[in-house]
Amino acid sequence: IETIGAEATEEWAEGMVANFARDPQGGDRDQIRGVAAGVCDVAVANHYYLAVMITGNDEADKEAASKVEFAT
């Protein structure tokens, strides 16, 4: 807001929402599963949940987690 002003920030946020692949739903793991399923290309999730999915006992979650990349 400080850099581009309130109006431009609101327009930016509205553009982000308009570009959502789906309405927000679920938690971090659901976002990771959505990327793995091809519902979207990018999601915001805590890296902890990706690690839990990779090392957990749920084979479907392991497979989903193996299909996504974690940006740093």
Nearest alpha carbon to residue 42 among 70, 72, 64: 70
Quickly list H helices, 19-71.
28-36, 47-55, 59-66
CA distances from 38 to 1, 4, 7, 67 (A): 33, 33, 33, 10
Q: What does the pLDDT look like over 20-72, one tens digit per residue?
A: 999 989 999 999 999 999 999 999 999 999 999 999 999 999 999 999 998 87
**pLDDT (0 to 100) of residue 33:** 97
Tokens 């609101």 locate to: 10
All residues at 6 or more sequence positions from 67 whose CB lies less than 8 Å from its CB, including other chains: 35, 36
pLDDT at 70: 86
Q: Residue 62 has what pLDDT? A: 97
Q: What is the value of pTM for the model shown?
A: 0.81
